[in-house]
Structure 1
Amino acid sequence: MNNISQVLDKLFDRYRIVFWYDDRRELRAEFEALELPGVEKVEIDNNEFALKYRVLRQEPEHRFLLYRHGPAPADLQNWLLDVELAHGVFYADQVTIWLNELELGPEYSELVREHLPFFKAAKRREAFKKGIRASDNPERLRLVMLAVCSGSEPRIDAVLENLLAELAQGGDEKIRLIERCGLQAYFWKRVECHYGYQSEPPGLKDFVIDLFKYCYERNVGLTDVDRDECLVFLNRWKDNVHHGKAYEKLAHEIAEILQIEDDLRQRDLKSLRDLDYFSLIDQRILVLLLEGIVFRTMALADCVEIVRRRRMSHWYRKFADVYEAVYHAALFLQYFHDLDVEVESAAAAIR
């Protein structure tokens, strides 16, 4: 609204009468809300002859803003053409106004038109303006739009973390907003570029299943496909203090979908000791540690070392009591094993 007022003020410095043709019929609300001191607003609506007489004869000194809800009529049907030619015309559509508000050049008009629903909300425009830089290209501008829609920083990993947090809570408002704003194709293209995810149609739940599946299989040696950004993202997401609960909820769901418990029965300690994607991994490790201690199939020092390593894992706190019990049992048995209990005689043993 401020941009419209500023442009009109400049026009009224030069002209007593200004015409405003709302070609796309999208600025009536702005016209009705507009306040220009000393200017009377009048709508052109089958009143051309009376209006012409008024502005030229009845009030020849008064300033008028003449608004038409639609494009200008053809010259032969325009009964106010002579008045228009002698005065000023305000050229504006909603996109132009938004571009001025956002301090973007006309070369971005197509981008704005492509994502009109995004720019219709004043709060989104305000957040968008705060996030953009003078050097931004259309790709970066779309990334900022994604960030605004998801309430995150303008990074694809941050956008995903917020979307997955909502998914974990059973919501889909943010991803639906991305779709309504025409950003879904760009979003999934970025996800494909960064994480190698491809599916038709793509979806958040499908993406997170693919993410867990790849990272698990990569670490246990079931695939050697290079998608290292998936590993980076999953570890970052898992250890993020703001998204830990969302991660854990989805990890439980995905473990069941992928039947991780069945696969873990085939895995040994060596392949699992540094993995912490699922809580089932910790359960399997604890079973193997206990079996190793009870049946003496593993070195006690190895057991102690594995527990020490697991203290840095994601699910350690959930199983801390069991891990520490195993740890101290292994230490005790190791101490007992190293203890010299040899005696010279039965009498010496009971002294």
Structure 2
Amino acid sequence: ASENGLSPVRIFREQLLLERLHSVNRYSYYLYRLFDPSIPWDEKQNYLLDYEEDYAPYKVRLWSLLAPERYRCLYDNKLVFNRFFGSLGFPLAKVYGVYDPVHGLTTDGGNLRDAPNLRDWLRASGVQEFVFKPVEGTQGHNVLVFTGRAADDPDKLLAINGDVYDAERLIASTNDDAALKAGNPGADTRSYLIEQRIRQHPELRGLVGEVLCCIRVQTIVTLEGVPKIIAAVLKLQPNSVGVDHLIHGAIGAWVDLDSGTLGKGRTRAHLDYISTIPGANRPFVGFQVPCWPEVRDLAVRAAAAFPWVRSVGWDIAVSEGGPVLVEGNERWSTSLIQMPAPHGLMTGEFKALYEALSEGERS
């Protein structure tokens, strides 16, 4: 209220009116800064709602309309995702194997089911850098990024945050699966993908550091069957936690779809906009995302590869060699996109698609 010179009573009254007339809940009203007087009343109705619960009924219905349950495995299972899109020639990280206490195998057929198997693979493969992440993970939980081996013991791995792991500690970490179960109910929490670490483009390293920061590119397949980009946000992670999710302290910065330059950002820590990298005081507004035309092309081609899923949030990294497809999120975050956005998503072709699918569900 003080920021915009408004009385708390006026803000409270507007929030109640939006909730009563247009079902805009209190959480969304403040999360998306709809109290900002520069946002016209009509545009305040164009935001997809959000809720504190990860699987609130509104979110589940939205996801189910756009990505029917029968197609979820293609995106939810990271090995299936890698195999499908890799078979079509998309640029992806190389998979070294899957750790699983029952089914674990390396790509050359060796067992990868316990700590001795993992230690044998580490010694034989010579792989120095890799990512260890749940096959059916979500929100960056339990992802570990390793940047090399300890100088005094090649059996010990150095994580990006400075921690040291041996094979036993790494396997033991898979038992801590409470966050995985909460974030993706029903997921198999025993299986972990071991894949190539993607090194970030030098211009992004200079801006934000070593943690791989993906661009979330939101696509739809329109009613006419045309894949289109409707929004993009670059996730900026200044902390050495290994993942770029906002719940782990990252910033989501709006990307102008035409130019690929960054606008202001938001975090989950507060309601204010951000324009500099915390701790480094480096401004990012106006920064040009490297390889932006190639990023756009990759997202559109990925959306066209499986058009039965009508909206996906693609995580695309810009590596030293160009854009790489990291993940496709069929249960994508409305708040990641809309928090830094200059407008809500429920407009234009997305709104037409949502209304047509909703009508089809009712008929």
* TM-score between both structures, scaled by the size of structure 2: 0.21
Larger Rg: 1
Greater helix fraction, Structure 1 or Structure 2: 1
